[in-house]
Structure formats: structure tokens, C-alpha cells
Structure 1
Amino acid sequence: MKQVVTFGEIMMRLSPPQNLRLSQAHSLDITYGGGDANVAAALAYLGMPAAHAGCFPDNAVGHAAAQHFQHHGVDMQHCVFQGQRLGLYFLEVGASLRASRIVYDRYDSAFANLQPEWFDWDKILGNAQWLHWTGITPAISATAAQATKEAIAAARRLGLTVSADVNYRRNLWQYGQRAQDVMPELVAGCDMVVCTEGDAEDLFGIKAEAGAENSFVSMSQQLVQRFPQIKQVIATRRNTQSASHERIRGLAYVEGDYYETEDFDINPVVDRIGGGDSFISGFIYGQLTYSTVTEALTFATAASALKHTISGDINLVTAAEVEHIMAGNTTGRLLR
């Protein structure tokens, strides 16, 4: 089976233990994560070959970050080690009424300073069937945006499926180019996108039609009309009860048809970071495994729900565990 390849920045995550606030902490737990790489790692746990391309500092911290994903089954042979700094983010895990909070420290990272010519995309994608990227990657720097553009062009030339989580982060676009000027060209090369109504309006000026019965369908119809290469638009709808209680459902607009799952109720939430990445990896897996969109979407939403019960950025679950939840086994009874 050919690989799914992802491209993007991996950062070190530092969190106070036991729901402490940063002001209370005397130690920090370390793990690593990145939206694109989280998808690759989740796919590896689901049994699909996955590889990640990225750039790390050539020091012990950079190699530890790469080894973390290699340990989780991701092929990291296409990563480059150049530069001095790994991006960081600090996560305060909330509880009940107190929301989780993230503080980023990623300026001037090795990934931000990458050069597009460091990546031979024909070679990297030579054994691939799918390329996935997120809107975070071209937001980091002009060179990262150019590398993303070249990766998409190579994927199209080689006949791969291309997907993106458009994931608009306004505060990341600091290098002099606007997301609204960069993202349309990149999204035009995608077969599948994860996009909410808010992101569609912010990035592409697309608004659900006034009085539309379903705002997601209205947005998706306009998005597909603007970008004809796109065949699938997916998203999750969240009904957040508290920092510790979440309900999610999956939405999909596929070649003119609308699909929606039932709600998955998650209480208590252990860690919501990576929930969206798990949804994407689940949908990719579902598309390559099941015969219907309904099955793929249900698998994706169940995978995302399970991720909320697991600490860290990566969804450490097997396909059998997700299918167990799909079958309605949600009571959490002891498995022997």
C-alpha cells in the first residue's frame, strides 16, 4: 500500500501536570505535535503507511522531536535538519468552567527558515497516494508557503489525492503576505478540504446564503463552484458543554450530497488537542477503506471522539478500537 505524506511544522508541547496553571507549575510535561504530522501518526496507528516531511533544528531537541514521530510509526526519512530552534507551545489543560489555553513560542524556528529547494517532492511523493497539508504551514513563512505550493504541484503531476485543513490562524500570518492572497491558489489544487463556514468567509469571502436551510451545504456549494477540483468538503460541528464535556458530529458535502453523523458525547474530555487532526486521519482512512461516505464520516467522527480521551497530540488508537465505538459500544466497559 502506498503512503499518505504530510508536510508541516512539528513543535515541542510543554504542559503543567494535573491541570495546574502555568503560574503554579514547577515542572512541565514534554511531548511533540503538529497538525499535519498528527495526521500521519494517527494513520500509522490505523495501519496505513504514513510519512512526514518537515524541517527540524540540527540539535538534540530537533532529533528528539523527529524520533518521537518515528517511534509512533511515521516514516521521517524525508525530513531536513537545519537551523537552531524548534518551535514551542505551552498548554494549560482546562477543566469544567476553565477553558484550556495555549501560548505559542515559535518565532524564527527551523521550519520557518526552511528553503523550498531542500525538498525533492518527486522523490518524497514517489511512493505516495495522498498528500495532506494544513493552512498553518503556508502561514509560517514565505518559504514554507512556496514549499507547500511546490508539494501540491508535484502531487497533482503525479496523480495523488490532495487534502487540506484550511485552518485559518489570523495571528500566524506575520511575514507580509495575506492568507486571502496565498490560500486560494493552494486550495485550488485540493480534492478534499476541511473547512468551516467561518474559515470560508475569512479566507475566500464565501458566506452561506441568507435564509439557507443548511449553512454548511450553502458554503460548500459555493466553495466547490469557486474551486472545481474540490470534490469533498468535511468538518466537525462542536457543541461544547465545558472544558471537560464535548459533543461532536461529522459533516460532509461530497459531490453534491450532504452527510451528517449523530452526536458523539465525550465526558470527561482528557485532551482536546489533535481532535481535528484525528477526524481528518479517520476520514482519509475511511475513504481508502470503506465503500460509502457514511461509513468514512462515521469512522472519522468516532476517531476524533476517541482522541479526546487520550493525552498528547496523537490519536493512539487502532482501527478496531474506532470500529468498536462505531458499533455503539460507548459505555467504556472493561475489555478483557
Structure 2
Amino acid sequence: MPVERRDEGNLVFGYLDTATADRAGAFDTVLVRARAGDSGYAADMRSSRFGALNGCDISGEQEIRVMPRPSPAARRPGHLLGLLVSGRGELEQDGRRAELAPGDFVLYTGARPFRLELGTSHRYFVLSLDEGTAGRVATAAGAVTANAELPRSPSGRVLSAVVGELAERAHGFGPLARREMGEHVSAILGTLLREAGGAGVSSDRGSSGAVDRVLAYIDDHLAEDLSPGTIAAAHHISVRHLHAMFRESGVTVSDHVRRRRLERIRRDLVDPALAHLPAYVLAARRGLGEASHFSRVFRAEFGLSPRAVREQARAGA
């Protein structure tokens, strides 16, 4: 853990950006100030990697305040997910403040000012998100940075549990399992963002069984014709009723189908068993046969090209 003492505090870097030895090029540089009376900063930091996600488990006894200090020479800092494992904490960004109890997580970015405070005897697990997931956080509907309500939503509770287990067992996974765990975290976070923005299909009403059957049918027939008329006919309902099932949650049938196809294609792209197949073949297998259209909508959804996703997977492996 490289630390540079300064009059204003301690510059810390290399805990997430482990590939960069020079602070000038590191994307994770922060200024850490210990409470008055402490001569310096010391903590136990254990870095790990989960495919395209970099993580660090930080344990310390000092009461500290952390602020970003990005280097102009480094690539633009992305979004972070921080989980408080033990102790107390607080994050402030974009005019919002989230108090953290053990098991709570927050989303924030090093590209804008933030203030993270951790109390004595703290343990904090932080993940730097991949570019595609970070792009989805940046463009998410509603306020997600320093949002204290996210961990209390249904998807947020699942995400808290998964990231908490990841913190506990990070070094017990093999390379393939670590990559897959990173993909699971990104997928759950994507679900959370859609839920927070009201862009998920709701099944709270008595028609939840019918909705579940429609969603399962779509997942099982991604390579086939999934026009609203085809889906409605397969379930013996009207197209109007089908649209009503989706409308309440702010997503259309076609949007849901497109998103599910893209998510499956992304999963196929990072599957080592399918590495010999071109991206356009994988897209055609999931019902997106036009190569130029596929590349465009894939980049719009994930912020990365299909080739970049594969390159990240290879680097992570």
C-alpha cells in the first residue's frame, strides 16, 4: 500500500489500481486524514480482483476522513461500491449524506468530490466497477450516489449479502470463480439500478404468476420471434393486456426483450467455452442477427463494445 506523507494528510494509492506503481498514473489516489494526534496513517489492505472488478478489503483502527485526489495523468476515475463490514461510517457526495451501519453499501465516484468518514476499528470493502457497469451507474435514473435507501430495497439487500460474502471469501476463490463472482455483482447492481429507476417489471399484484410465466417464456425463447403478438399468443392473452403487464413499471415489452438478449450475449462473450465464436455469431444465437445494429445497441447498454468486454474478460482471467 503506497503512502506519501503530506502536510495536508496522506496520499494513498495502488490499493485498487494494483497494476500502476506510479501515483501519477493511478486512478485510485485518495487523501486520508487521520484524527488529530495521529502521526500518520496505517491500515491492513488486501487487494483482490474479480474479473473486471478490482477490490480491496481495508481494516484500520484509526478514525479517518477520505477524499479523492485524482491525478490529471491517470485515466478518469470510475464509480465505486463500498460496503461497511464493521464499525461506523458516513459518505457525502452530490449534496447527499449516507450514514453507514455494518452491512450497508454506497455508490460513489472518484471523479467528483466526496467525503468518506470511517470510525475507529473499521473494516471497509471497496470495489471499482467495470466501465460498462460504471456507465450504467452514471446514467441511472434518479439519485444513486450516496443514496442510503439503496441497501434497503429488495435488490439492495441481495447485493449487500453477496458483496459481504465476497469480502469474507475473496481469497478462497479460484480465477474463474472470481471472474464469475464479479459478473454476478455487476448483474445484481444492474437489477438494482433498474429497480431504483422504476424500470423493472413489477409482479406485486395478483397477476404475478402470469408475469413470471411471460418472463420465463422470454428467457427460454430469446433466439426466436419475440414480438408482442407472438408472446401474447403463446399465453392466450391480448397484446393490450401484455403491454399493461409491463407498462406499470415503465418498460416496454420490446425493451425488456432487447435487454435480456444483450445480457445473455454479454454472458456468452466472457464464457471461455465460447471464445472461439465471433461476437456476431453469439448475437445471432440470441436473436440479434444484424451485426452493425447489435454492436450499436450493445455499446449503448453496457458502455463497451463486444470486443472490449472480451478483452476485459481475458485480462481478468
- Flag the structure with larger Rg: 2
Return the TM-score normalized by structure 1. 0.28
Return the TM-score normalized by structure 2. 0.29
> More helix by proportion, 1 or 2?
2
